[in-house]
Amino acid sequence: MSDNEEKKEIRVWCDGCYDMVHFGHANSLRQAKALGHKLIVGVHTDEEIKKHKGPPVFTQEERYKMVRGIKWVDDVVEGAPYVTTLETLDKYNCDFCVHGDDITMTADGVDTYQIVKDADRYKEVSRTEGISTTDLVGRMLLLTKNHFRQGEKEYAIEKEGSSNLGQDHSARSPWTGCSQFLPTTQKIIQFSDGKSPKPDDKIVYVAGAFDLFHVGHLDFLEQARKHGDYLIVGLHTDPVVNKYKGSNYPIMNIHERVLSVLACKYVNEVVIGAPYSVTEELVRHFKVGVVCHGQTELPMENGVHDPYAVPKMMGKFISIDSGNTMTTEKIVERIIKHRIEFEERNSKKEKKEIEAYEAMTKAKQNEKAG
């Protein structure tokens, strides 16, 4: 191999809707980045998505910002075409395109990656099982069904039933009851940057649910990071989140929320199952210089104790206004408001994918038979 070949920068192209960016998207982009040096991500417009797939949950501006916030992304191309062409790869000097091993088709049922596949400029990475935008939309639609609102009694019965069956349902949220994601320590290691703070780093600590990681979270974390050099995010457990949010919250269980937060480029470390109230022990243990909280109202612990009383007393508390008023509840409101549209979208997408999968399976069987 010549010196020029060794020095050649491999540029990787990914594209997609990236609607309701979740850790499945992030994991796909992480794998894509590992295949080269620079990762360029094309994001489709609202108009293109509506034409081929149905209405997106987030606006294109929100989706552009979310993709830019993922730690493995080097550049974002706004308004990328829905069908990936060789012209697009050449325009952005990309060597090849990477996509997950699921099927993506146009409204006419055409594989959006057929052109780059035929030109041998396509690579595939494993899709993250148990998570998709379609799945998350489904979970939010379930919030409107009263029979699905499980309490502690129902969850205890469910746990007892699953143990009798000898199955591990620990990855299931007792309130959404439908997460199929199975976490591993290896996956957390892959998402973590693994870097400890330097001795002179100013450490910033924030805490919360960070459910359905969205642009409001992203803007808040960006502002929090500006107050120091190393950002630690404390994540509350599912029962704690449910206690102060009620209903079927959290939409995503703690395993899913950990990866979603770790994928953010502003975050260095996550405390899994952080205490609701920020304690003096926590501040001293992590050598926290400043504790930040946003503008969202946080209930008192047991109705009386301010969860930020300790850092306030220590003179280490800062209230941040990121200028973004997005909340998880507002996202759910969007879904509920357009419930019929999203249910139709989910139904059509599922039907189309099943038909395509069956056709592919049949073609492979015919090849073997021939």
Q: Which CATH number characterizes residue 192's domain?
A: 3.40.50.620
In terms of domains, do 294 and 342 share one?
no
For residue 145, pLDDT over 60 is answered with no
Asked if residue 139 is part of any domain, the answer here is no
Residue type, 140: M
Query: DSSP characters for 206-274?
Result: EEE--TT--HHHHHHHHHHHTTSSEEEEEE--HHHHHHHH-TT--SS-HHHHHHHHHTBTT--EEEET-
Helices (H) and strands (E) in the chain, counts: 16, 10
Residue bearing the bigger pLDDT, 315 or 331? 315
Asked if residue 17 is part of any domain, the answer here is yes
Look at residues 109, 125, 141 and tell me which one is the last residue of a structural domain: 125
Confidence of residue 114 (pLDDT cuts 50, 70, 90): very high
In terms of domains, do 42 and 86 share one?
yes
For residue 287, pLDDT over 90 is answered with yes
Distance CA 302, CA 304 (A): 6
List, in order, residues 6 or more apart from 334 with CB less than 8 Å away: 57
Asked if residue 166 is part of any domain, the answer here is no
Structural tokens at position 300: 């008192």
Q: What is the mean pLDDT of the chain?
A: 83
In order of 98, 356, 365, the CA distances from 369 in angstroms are: 31, 20, 6
Name the residue range of residue 236's domain.
Answer: 185-330
CB atoms within 10 A of CB 25: 26
In terms of domains, do 300 and 354 share one?
no
Please report the pLDDT score of residue 11 as a whole number: 98
SS3 35: coil
In terms of domains, do 286 and 359 share one?
no
* Alpha-carbon Rg for the chain in angstroms: 22
For residue 292, pLDDT over 50 is answered with yes
Least confident of 47-51, 303-307, 352-356: 352-356
In terms of domains, do 17 and 90 share one?
yes
Residue bearing the bigger pLDDT, 348 or 56? 56
Please report the pLDDT score of residue 361 as a whole number: 73
Instruction: Work out the average pLDDT over 111-139.
Output: 83
In terms of domains, do 219 and 261 share one?
yes
Asked if residue 232 is part of any domain, the answer here is yes
For residue 325, pLDDT over 50 is answered with yes
Asked if residue 349 is part of any domain, the answer here is yes
Predicted confidence (pLDDT) per residue in 206-237, tens digit: 999 999 999 999 999 999 999 999 999 999 99
In terms of domains, do 359 and 307 share one?
no
Predicted confidence (pLDDT) per residue in 160-207, tens digit: 333 332 333 333 344 344 445 667 788 888 999 889 999 999 999 999
Predicted confidence (pLDDT) per residue in 9-18, tens digit: 999 999 999 9
Instruction: Work out the average pLDDT over 43-51.
Output: 93
Owner of token pair 């910002």: 65
Please report the pLDDT score of residue 158 as a whole number: 34
Instruction: Work out the average pLDDT over 49-56.
Output: 83
Please report the pLDDT score of residue 353 as a whole number: 62
For residue 253, pLDDT over 80 is answered with yes
* Planar angle of CA 194, 206, 262, nearest 5 degrees: 35
Distance CA 352, CA 355 (A): 5
